[in-house]
């Protein structure tokens, strides 16, 4: 070991010992562990990666950055506080002591990550944990290094002043709101907030892919600042000690700042680029979008999606086009996203933005059909501006995978359609048609669609009204009974367990809807903004249920959520399929009284045992705010019907509701609904 | 190791802490005397590279302190007026840490740490936390850290302040013992410390050099100007306002004063042999006169 290395190691070791053997250190750890264990006693994220990349990770890095500021200042002022500084400065040392001691503060604070890491490990799975730990440690180290350097530099610059500590703490508290005020809550504020209290850049399925280079640039910005600030502290110290401008330290200050600045500028320009392209997304308006009346209708799609070269996804579409109008047509209009370039076609094609005009070889008579073949390719990304935050990537095809919904026009739609209307699903659905989708993906990629899977990478439905396609390296699928599970690899085991419950629920409830032909259910655990709406209709014989992968733990949390989810989501789809159209979510009341859904859910859950159904209904009523809010009476009426007439009694109620929903108009009170149930079922 | 100070000045705004001081310290144990505020500590801090002068030049062993402070630090041991250590480390750990900072190789460091602990009589307490040490023990630990690395120059600033008489004598003897092989620069306002140990000395007064030479030469400055005179208690104030009173004691209801004056005070003084304190007062003038009233 060289002489210099010996001094570095010794200064680092001594400072670390002075920090860690002080009584405040174990107390801090005890309080920290208690806080984390209490805060995250029930929920830290769906997986270790979600936990460390999300709330747990942000809190631990953010909160400890405050401690890091203070500890940096405490460490820097130690010699002055103990009056050792005059001695220390006469020793033949250089910047290595300052750097080593600063490094010791960072090292000491890294021990605060033990508890969050243990919590994350408990969540598992292990591969998710091991995949995330290096990134989490890097982010924490950079943040602590930066905050520690600020603390050091403040003391070196201003001297050992007591007011430095509250000023540093106040600065930490203020940095997040001030950065948001300064930038109006728009993108760049997330860069200025070193406390990392901004939204997580992580999604269970895509990892950090959707955030692009932002996380790396964020780290680069603060690594550069940490270097620059630390070098400034060294420069100030050296200048005092040598009475010269230390060239190396000065160079490092400039290098660090340049590194940070270029990273920050790239971060900003990325957000600006995305913002310029971003589509506004406003959930406030729920009015129906206008749908163009189509002359043309597509009766069948056969799409071969070749995603093996994701830099250039290629689609081969065969369509059966029908003239739905009353006059012959000599051309046909289709809608296809403008970044998808038509490279081959069975008919001459002209293009205007998203609109394709196909010149038909001869006029197509009303009701007649013709087959069209289109080959198109292209990589693209669609960003949305969501609640004034950073633009977010929603639909894309390119390196990293594809996430495609009808809203982006990834397959040709008949007529003129406004694409990008992301939150109005109704305008994107098309007339029921035969749809066959064949997907080729790179090795290791998973693929899923809302259409029933019929083979390896092949999905098909006879009456599909829409189709999505997702291919991602982390996506995995599995079959559980009639349920197709699509989930990130880390969540697949848990998703399979939920799928079993869906399967059982489906088995018990579908007999009550004899007109509905449901072959299966796709349970997709996807991320927060995949573009679906809760009222997403079934793709023909397949129910689609999409759940936010980041929120999977909610499924475990309460009886209430359990009721809302497993029962009502399946029932929603069954009602929708039985009615033949999506149920209006804004209607004054849901199609069926919720007590009917409650009874059916309890029936499915308790396998038809009337005593257990009664107990479940009571327990559910008690779990509601204020206790039983009326569930008991109508649900008990249904239970009476069930006890007396069995499934036939319940079936009678459902049949009446489907055949004559208006008979419930004006029936609003619990007593009236209970009486209606009894009357319809012929039970008193 | 020779120290050469040339026209050294240090200004704090309009205050001249040092004003054109030139001095040559040939080696051995050298005392720097002067009242509080005379500029001793400022001079010391410049010598040990803690402070940059406003003007002037200092060389230590031929090394320019301003231009090459790192080289000076490598040959320096320093005991400041006030200092402390990391309280939770024990003396051995503290010295071992300092030894590393002084670039002493590991094996040699262990030997030196044990040797200096022995030298300052702290071996038995080497494993005690420094935070539990008495003032005298801390002072000895200060010497120990200064001796690490076997420095050519030892700068000691007001070392005996706060020590009890026994500790003070032990400390003084220790300095004399270690000064054999090196230059020791001892700054103090206690004349007895210099008298007992230094072969050369300088007196600073209000930032200027008032005297430089040997203790004997300083004593000679007072020869024929030191008197013993008995006065009535009522006369005290009048005498004190005219001459410098070195010491006083009460004898049979009257006060016997030892004074420094060019002429026989009140015409009834008895000339006596001068001492170093008398010489010091003779060159430092009337500044801080009251400090030198020592009741015996």
SS3 per residue for chain B = CCEEEEEEEEEECCEEEEEEEEEEECCCEEEEECCCCCCHHHHHHHHCCCCCCCEEEEEECCEECCCCHHHHHHCEEEECCCCCCCCCCEHHHHHHHHHHHCCCCHHHHHHHHHHHHHHCCCHHHCCCEHHHCCHHHHHHHHHHHHHCCCCCEEEEECCCCCCCHHHHHHHHHHHHHHHHHCEEEEEECCHHHHHHHCCEEEEEECCEEEEEECHHHHHHCCCCCEEEEEECHHHHHHHHHHCEEEEEEEECCEEEEEEECCCCHHHCCEECCCCHHHHHHHHHCCCCHHHHCEEC
Q: Are residue B162 and residue B235 in the same domain, yes or no?
A: no
Cβ–Cβ pairs < 8 A, chains A and B: 73
At A32, list the tokens: 């920290």
Q: Are residue B184 and residue B279 in the same domain, yes or no?
A: no
In chain A (684 residues long), the average pLDDT of successive 10-residue segments reads 90 95 94 92 80 88 93 94 92 92 96 94 89 93 95 93 92 79 65 74 82 89 96 92 87 95 92 79 46 76 94 95 90 90 94 91 92 94 72 84 86 81 61 91 90 90 86 91 89 85 85 85 76 54 77 60 62 78 56 79 88 85 61 83 92 89 81 89 84
Residue matched to tokens 């419950």: A501
Contact B258, B245 (CB under 8 A): yes
pLDDT of residue A17: 95
Task: Give the C-alpha separation, B42 to B204, whole Å.
Answer: 11
Q: Under an 8 A CB cutoff, do A92 and B88 touch?
A: no
Instruction: Tell me the fold of A278-284+291-473.
Output: Immunoglobulin-like (2.60.40)
Task: Give the C-alpha separation, B269 to B258, whole Å.
Answer: 9
Q: How many CB atoms lie within 10 A of CB A344?
A: 11
Q: Under an 8 A CB cutoff, do A91 and B98 touch?
A: yes
Whether residue B51 is predicted with pLDDT greater than 80 in this model: the reply is yes
Task: Give the C-alpha separation, B62 to B43, whole Å.
Answer: 18
User: Sign of torsion, CA A565 A567 A568 A572?
Assistant: positive
Name the strand (E) or helix (H) holding A481: none
User: Sign of torsion, CA A218 A222 A223 A225?
Assistant: positive
Radius of gyration of the CA atoms of chain A, in A: 31
Task: Give the C-alpha separation, A510 to A571, whole Å.
Answer: 9
Three-state SS at A195: coil
Q: Are residue B209 and residue B228 in the same domain, yes or no?
A: no
Domain endpoint, select from B198, B214, B230: B214
pLDDT of residue A505: 84
Nearest to B97 among A14, A89, A241 (CB): A14
Task: Give the C-alpha separation, A169 to A59, whole Å.
Answer: 16
Q: Are residue B170 and residue B236 in the same domain, yes or no?
A: no
Q: Are residue B97 and residue B206 in the same domain, yes or no?
A: yes
Q: Under an 8 A CB cutoff, do A83 and B83 touch?
A: yes
At A90, list the tokens: 């006469």
- Residues from chain B contacting residue A241 (CB–CB below 8 Å): 49, 69
The larger pLDDT score, comparing residue B26 to residue A625, is at: B26
Chain center to CA of A347: 41
Interface check for B92 against chain A (CB to CB < 8 A): the answer is no
At A282, list the tokens: 């406003």
Interior angle at CA A187, CA A181 and CA A192, nearest 5: 60
Q: Under an 8 A CB cutoff, do A241 and B69 touch?
A: yes
Task: Give the C-alpha separation, A317 to A327, whole Å.
Answer: 26
**Nearest 10 degrees: Cα torsion A432, A438, A440, A443:** 90
Q: Under an 8 A CB cutoff, do A89 and B49 touch?
A: yes
Q: How many CB atoms lie within 10 A of CB A454?
A: 13
Q: Which of A345, A354, A350 is nearest to A317 (CA)?
A: A345
Mutate one of B84, B129, B133 to test the A interface: name it (highest A CB count within 10 A). B84
SS (H, E, C) A388-450: CCCEEEEEEEECCEEEECHHHCCCCEECCCCCCCCCCHHHCCCCCEEEEEEEECCCCCEEEEC
Domain span at residue B233 reads: 220-295
Q: Under an 8 A CB cutoff, do B87 and A82 touch?
A: yes
Interface of chain A against chain B, CB under 8 Å?
3, 6-7, 10-11, 14, 18, 21-22, 78, 82-84, 86-94, 97, 241-243
Q: Under an 8 A CB cutoff, do A92 and B83 touch?
A: no
Instruction: Kindly tell me the burial class for residue A97, based on how many C-beta atoms sit within 10 Å of its own C-beta (0-12, 13-18, 19 or more).
Output: buried
Q: Which of A225, A21, A13 is nearest to A100 (CA)?
A: A13
Domain endpoint, select from B185, B214, B243: B214
User: Which residues 128-157 of B have a C-beta within 8 angstroms of A?
Assistant: 142, 145
pLDDT of residue A532: 53
Q: How many CB atoms lie within 10 A of CB A665?
A: 10
Task: Give the C-alpha separation, A669 to A649, whole Å.
Answer: 21
- Residues from chain A contacting residue B105 (CB–CB below 8 Å): 3
User: Sign of torsion, CA B219 B223 B228 B233?
Assistant: negative
Q: Are residue B121 and residue B160 in the same domain, yes or no?
A: yes
- Residues from chain B contacting residue A84 (CB–CB below 8 Å): 83-86
Task: Give the C-alpha separation, A70 to A73, whole Å.
Answer: 5
Quote the crossing angle between the two packed helices A55-76 and A3-20, to the nearest 10°.
110
Contact B5, B24 (CB under 8 A): yes
Q: Under an 8 A CB cutoff, do B48 and A90 touch?
A: yes
Shortest distance, CA A68 to any CA of chain B (angstroms): 21
Domain span(s) for CATH 2.60.40.1730 in chain A: 278-284+291-473
Q: Are residue B273 and residue B153 in the same domain, yes or no?
A: no
Domain endpoint, select from B167, B182, B214: B214
8-state DSSP, A514: T
- Residues from chain B contacting residue A83 (CB–CB below 8 Å): 82-84
Q: Under an 8 A CB cutoff, do B83 and A87 touch?
A: yes
Shortest distance, CA A242 to any CA of chain B (angstroms): 6
Interface check for B159 against chain A (CB to CB < 8 A): the answer is no
Q: Are residue B21 and residue B125 in the same domain, yes or no?
A: yes
Chain center to CA of A594: 29
Shortest distance, CA A28 to any CA of chain B (angstroms): 19
Q: How many CB atoms lie within 10 A of CB A239?
A: 14
Q: Under an 8 A CB cutoff, do B103 and A92 touch?
A: yes
- Residues from chain B contacting residue A91 (CB–CB below 8 Å): 73, 98, 101-102
Q: Which of B32, B10, B63, B70 is nearest to B204 (CA)?
A: B32
Q: Under an 8 A CB cutoff, do B100 and A242 touch?
A: no
- Residues from chain A contacting residue B106 (CB–CB below 8 Å): 6
Residue matched to tokens 């950055």: A65
Residue matched to tokens 């996430």: A403
Q: Under an 8 A CB cutoff, do B80 and A243 touch?
A: no
Nearest to B50 among A83, A90, A94 (CB): A90
- The stretch B189-196 carries a mean pLDDT of 82
Shortest distance, CA A159 to any CA of chain B (angstroms): 15
Q: Are residue B172 and residue B286 in the same domain, yes or no?
A: no
Name the strand (E) or helix (H) holding A471: strand A469-472
User: Sign of torsion, CA B62 B66 B70 B74?
Assistant: positive
The contacts of residue A476 (CB under 8 Å, 6+ apart) are A446, A486, A487, A488, A489, A492
Shortest distance, CA A94 to any CA of chain B (angstroms): 9
- Total domains in chain B come to 2
- Residues from chain A contacting residue B94 (CB–CB below 8 Å): none
pLDDT digits (tens, 9 = 90+) for B101-137: 999 998 899 999 999 999 888 999 999 999 999 888 8
Task: Give the C-alpha separation, A256 to A251, whole Å.
Answer: 8
Task: Give the C-alpha separation, A183 to A178, whole Å.
Answer: 8
pLDDT of residue A584: 58
The contacts of residue B241 (CB under 8 Å, 6+ apart) are none
- Residues from chain A contacting residue B102 (CB–CB below 8 Å): 91-92
pLDDT of residue A533: 46
Task: Give the C-alpha separation, A449 to B120, whole Å.
Answer: 83
Mutate one of A13, A15, A87 to test the B interface: name it (highest B CB count within 10 A). A87
A410: phi then psi, degrees, rounded to nearest 5: -80, -15
Q: Under an 8 A CB cutoff, do B86 and A83 touch?
A: no
Mutate one of B63, B71, B101 to test the A interface: name it (highest A CB count within 10 A). B101
Q: Under an 8 A CB cutoff, do B69 and A7 touch?
A: no
Task: Give the C-alpha separation, A264 to A214, whole Å.
Answer: 10
Q: Are residue B245 and residue B275 in the same domain, yes or no?
A: yes
Task: Give the C-alpha separation, B58 to A346, whole Å.
Answer: 95
Q: Under an 8 A CB cutoff, do A243 and B69 touch?
A: yes
Shortest distance, CA B99 to any CA of chain A (angstroms): 9
Peptide bond into A533 cis (omega under 30): no
Q: Under an 8 A CB cutoff, do B83 and A84 touch?
A: yes
- Residues from chain B contacting residue A242 (CB–CB below 8 Å): 69-70
Q: How far is the CA of B6 from the CAs of A191, A205, A258, B20, in angstroms?
A: 56, 75, 45, 8
Nearest to B70 among A22, A87, A92 (CB): A92
Interface check for B74 against chain A (CB to CB < 8 A): the answer is yes
Q: Which of A438, A383, A96 is nearest to A234 (CA)?
A: A96
Q: Which of A77, A145, A76 is nearest to A110 (CA)?
A: A145
Mutate one of A2, A86, A100, A240 to test the B interface: name it (highest B CB count within 10 A). A86
- Residues from chain A contacting residue B148 (CB–CB below 8 Å): none
Q: Which residue intervals of A77-213 are DSSP H helices?
A: 78-81, 85-88, 95-110, 114-123, 126-158, 164-182, 189-192
Shortest distance, CA B232 to any CA of chain A (angstroms): 49
Q: Are residue B107 and residue B125 in the same domain, yes or no?
A: yes
Interface check for B248 against chain A (CB to CB < 8 A): the answer is no
Tell me the ipTM for this assembly: 0.87
């Amino acid at each position: 070991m060289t002489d210099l290395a010996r001094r570095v190691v010794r200064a680092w070791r001594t400072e670390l010992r002075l920090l860690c053997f002080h009584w405040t250190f174990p107390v801090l750890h005890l309080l920290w562990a208690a806080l984390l264990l209490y805060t995250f006693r029930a929920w830290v994220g769906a997986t270790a990666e979600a936990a460390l990349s999300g709330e747990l990770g942000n809190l631990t890095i953010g909160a400890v950055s405050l401690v890091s500021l203070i500890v940096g200042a405490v460490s820097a002022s130690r010699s002055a506080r103990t009056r050792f500084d005059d001695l220390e400065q006469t020793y033949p040392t250089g910047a290595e002591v300052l750097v080593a001691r600063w490094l010791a503060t960072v090292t000491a604070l890294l021990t605060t990550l033990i508890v969050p890491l243990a919590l994350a490990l408990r969540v598992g799975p292990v591969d998710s944990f091991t995949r995330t730990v290096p990134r989490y440690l890097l982010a924490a180290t950079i943040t602590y290094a930066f905050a520690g350097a600020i603390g050091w530099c403040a003391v070196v610059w201003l001297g050992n002043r007591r007011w430095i500590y509250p000023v540093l703490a106040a600065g930490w508290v203020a940095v997040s709101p001030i950065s948001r005020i300064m930038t109006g809550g728009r993108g760049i504020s997330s860069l200025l907030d070193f406390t990392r209290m901004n939204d997580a850049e992580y999604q269970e399925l895509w990892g950090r892919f959707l955030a692009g280079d932002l996380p790396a640039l964020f780290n680069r910005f603060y690594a550069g600042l940490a270097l620059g600030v630390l070098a400034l502290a060294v420069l100030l110290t050296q200048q005092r000690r040598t009475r010269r401008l230390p060239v190396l330290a000065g160079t490092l200050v400039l290098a660090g700042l340049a590194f940070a600045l270029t990273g920050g500028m790239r971060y900003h320009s990325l957000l600006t680029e995305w913002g310029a392209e971003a589509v506004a997304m406003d959930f406030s308006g729920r009015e129906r979008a206008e749908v163009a009346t189509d002359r043309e209708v597509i009766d069948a799609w056969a799409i071969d999606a070749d995603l093996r070269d994701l830099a250039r996804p290629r689609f081969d579409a065969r369509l059966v086009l029908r003239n739905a109008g009353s006059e012959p047509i000599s051309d046909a209009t289709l809608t296809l996203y403008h970044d998808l370039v038509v490279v081959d076609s069975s008919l001459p094609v002209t293009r205007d933005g998203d609109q394709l005009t196909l010149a038909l070889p001869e006029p197509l008579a009303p009701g007649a059909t013709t087959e069209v073949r289109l080959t198109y390719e292209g990589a693209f990304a669609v960003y949305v501006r969501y609640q004034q935050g950073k633009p977010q990537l929603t639909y894309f095809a390119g390196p990293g995978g594809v996430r495609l919904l009808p809203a982006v026009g990834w397959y040709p739609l008949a007529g003129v359609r406004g694409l990008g209307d992301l939150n109005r699903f109704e305008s994107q659905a098309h007339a029921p048609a035969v749809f066959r989708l064949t997907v080729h993906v790179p090795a290791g990629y998973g693929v899923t669609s809302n259409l029933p899977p019929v083979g390896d990478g092949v999905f098909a439905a006879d009456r599909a009204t829409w189709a999505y396609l997702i291919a991602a390296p982390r996506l995995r699928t599995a079959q559980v009974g009639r349920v197709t599970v699509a989930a990130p690899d880390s969540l697949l085991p848990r998703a399979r367990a939920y799928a079993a419950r869906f399967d059982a629920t489906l088995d018990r409830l579908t007999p009550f809807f004899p007109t509905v032909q449901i072959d299966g259910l796709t349970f997709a655990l996807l991320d927060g903004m995949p573009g679906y709406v809760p009222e997403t209709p079934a793709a023909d014989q397949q129910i689609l249920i999409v759940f936010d992968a980041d929120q999977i733990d909610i499924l475990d949390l309460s009886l209430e959520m359990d009721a809302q989810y497993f029962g009502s989501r399946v029932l929603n789809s069954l009602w929708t399929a039985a009615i033949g159209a999506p149920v209006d979510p804004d209607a004054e009341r849901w199609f069926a009284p919720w007590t009917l859904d409650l009874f059916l859910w309890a029936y499915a859950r308790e396998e038809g045992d009337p005593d257990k159904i009664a107990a479940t209904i009571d327990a559910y009523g008690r779990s509601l705010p204020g206790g039983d809010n009326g569930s008991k009476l109508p649900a008990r009426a249904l239970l009476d019907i069930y006890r007396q007439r069995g499934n036939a009694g319940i079936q009678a109620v459902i049949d009446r509701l489907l055949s004559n929903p208006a008979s419930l108009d004006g029936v609003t009170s619990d007593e009236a609904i209970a009486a209606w149930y009894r009357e319809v079922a012929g039970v008193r | 190791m020779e120290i050469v100070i040339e026209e050294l000045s240090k200004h704090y705004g309009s205050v001249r802490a040092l004003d054109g001081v030139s001095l040559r310290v040939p080696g051995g144990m050298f005392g720097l005397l002067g009242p509080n505020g005379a500029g001793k500590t400022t001079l010391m801090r410049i010598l040990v590279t803690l402070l940059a002068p406003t003007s002037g030049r200092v060389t230590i062993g031929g090394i320019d302190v301003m231009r090459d402070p790192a080289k000076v630090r490598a040959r320096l041991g320093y005991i400041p007026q006030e200092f402390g250590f990391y309280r939770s480390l024990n003396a051995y750990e503290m010295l071992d840490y300092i030894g590393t900072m002084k670039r002493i190789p590991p094996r040699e460091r262990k030997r030196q740490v044990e040797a200096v602990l022995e030298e300052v009589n702290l071996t038995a307490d080497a494993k005690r936390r420094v935070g539990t040490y008495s003032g005298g023990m801390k002072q000895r630990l200060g010497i120990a850290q200064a001796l690490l690395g076997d420095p050519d120059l030892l700068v000691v600033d007001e070392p005996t302040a706060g020590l009890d008489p026994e500790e003070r004598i032990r400390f003084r003897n220790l300095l004399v013992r270690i000064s054999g092989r090196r230059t020791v620069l001892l700054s103090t306002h206690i004349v007895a410390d210099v008298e007992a140990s230094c072969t050369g000395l300088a007196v600073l007064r209000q930032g200027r050099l008032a005297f430089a030479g040997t203790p004997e030469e300083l004593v000679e400055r007072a020869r024929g100007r030191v008197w013993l005179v008995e006065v009535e208690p009522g006369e005290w104030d009048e005498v004190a306002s005219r001459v410098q009173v070195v010491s006083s004691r009460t004898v049979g209801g009257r006060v016997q004063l030892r004074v420094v004056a060019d002429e026989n005070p009140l015409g009834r003084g008895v000339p006596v042999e001068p001492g170093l304190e008398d010489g010091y007062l003779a060159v430092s003038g009337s500044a801080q006169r009251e400090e030198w009233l020592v009741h015996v």
